[in-house]
Structure 1
């Protein structure tokens, strides 16, 4: 790793209540950084973690699809910790699952809702956070030449794939990657990395197995069923450790890239649970 973790860093994390987000949150807290978790609803395990890490973990109740809630989360970070070093944007939704031919008419509202969560929420929170991410002042421990801030976008292989029935989800992740590439060119003080987290064993995989068969091709659905049956789904802390490490340590040369979580460079920054 290029530099030690600054324990005073502050990270905003969305989608932290379960699965990959919760695993990432636990790793961040164990690394000694401050976290603001943006959540519409709290899980029991998230509430318990907030009790354990009082003064270090703050839960900002809100919906990432609402601009005012994203602005409020940034305000919580600045008011509580006086600095903002990174975003990990993990919140997302998968449905509606349907072929393109079935996404018009009344179903179009569901596509717009998905994009509100998976794409427009990114633009919203990033725009509010960038002035603080760019700022170098009051960031104790920041080394000259090191990025002032970092953004980690939790993407998917869907960004470059074409799984049947996933049209809306595929398109939203492709838009996410495009946003990350553009930020890499525009923001010289802030490193932005889009990460494919593989196939962690989360509720999303359960939904794919249970619901995907009705809209996915038989071969696509069988592929995901096989991963589960063979015990090949990832423990969430494995890619979660990479998300956490990149948020704290990703170097300038990675900005604008789309990487697999287990590629050599991103995995070199993996934090252990």
Structure 2
């Protein structure tokens, strides 16, 4: 089935970093109409909307950890463009970093809502529309889903759960023509002068020492110093391409962005 000439995509976490790069690629390379969902309305996001106009970019300011904000994003998208072709769920945070024994229990429910339940909060109201369009769902996972990095316990748990959701949704929605992938984007350079929880690599370099194992800190610090971090556009191009026309035969997989089977979507 050929992708639509101007696909309608909902993208979370587009205010900066990897998500912002994916947004630009969807607009410039795929002629997409995109709804973004994020808490913050950054100057960069506003600039993209100004460049492409309201007919191409719909900004929904909200919290992905709240069911009602996700439902509102779907409702506004379908109300504006009369359809929905794909989702890219990129929003999330690694904070708090710390050993599980030290993380306050008050952090658990908000964290799981933002990093895992948000997937279902957006997918569930989207499915009736994605079934009509034989749409695609892209979940931004992490290599941490298959490792046991010290102080990353909540993050690893959420990403592992995301991989499992991808497998289950793929099975349940196969007959409806809906495809889904959990994608490992690699170590992405989303650095900024003021590291925040949204710039993961910068956040880890600032907050990891004393929390993470020394050997793990060396790995991430070395990748930064050697210039080995990925440009956001590299995995971003794969995420955007999958959301528009990802291969149905790979639906349900937890897959590396650099997998040879995704070569066609790379820059």
- Where on the TM-score scale, by shorter chain, does this alignment land: which range? over 0.9
2:24 to 23, 26, 44: 26
Q: Which residue number corresponds to residue 5 of structure 2? A: 7
Q: Which residue number corresponds to residue 208 of structure 2? A: 212
2:168 to 155, 159, 182: 182
Map 1:158-169 → 2, pairs under 5 A:
158-169=144-155
Give the root-mean-square deviation of aligned CA atoms: 1.1
> 1:268 deviation in Å?
2.1
> 1:4 deviation in Å?
5.7
Q: Which residue number corresponds to residue 143 of structure 1? A: none
Cα separation, partners in 2 of 1:47 and 1:38, compared to 1, 3 Å: same
- Tell me, what secondary structure is at the counterpart of 1:75? helix
- Tell me, what secondary structure is at the counterpart of 1:73? helix
> 1:7 deviation in Å?
2.2
Q: Which residue number corresponds to residue 196 of structure 2? A: none
TM-score by length of 2: 0.93
* Pair 1:192-2:218 in alignment: no
Deviations 1:17-44 (A, max 9, x none): 1000000000000120100001211110
d(CA) in 1 for partners of 2:178, 2:229: 32
Q: Is the 8 A contact 1:183 1:192 kept in 2?
A: yes
Corresponding pairs, count: 255
Deviations 1:116-138 (A, max 9, x none): 101011111100100000014xx
Deviations 1:209-258 (A, max 9, x none): 11011210000011000000000011100000000000011121111100
Deviations 1:137-188 (A, max 9, x none): xxxxxxxxxxx11000000001111100100100000000010010010001
- Tell me, what secondary structure is at the counterpart of 2:265? coil
d(CA) in 2 for partners of 1:178, 1:51: 38
Q: Which residue number corresponds to residue 40 of structure 1? A: 39
d(CA) in 2 for partners of 1:117, 1:266: 28
Segments of structure 1 that go 5 or more residues without pairing to the other structure are 137-147
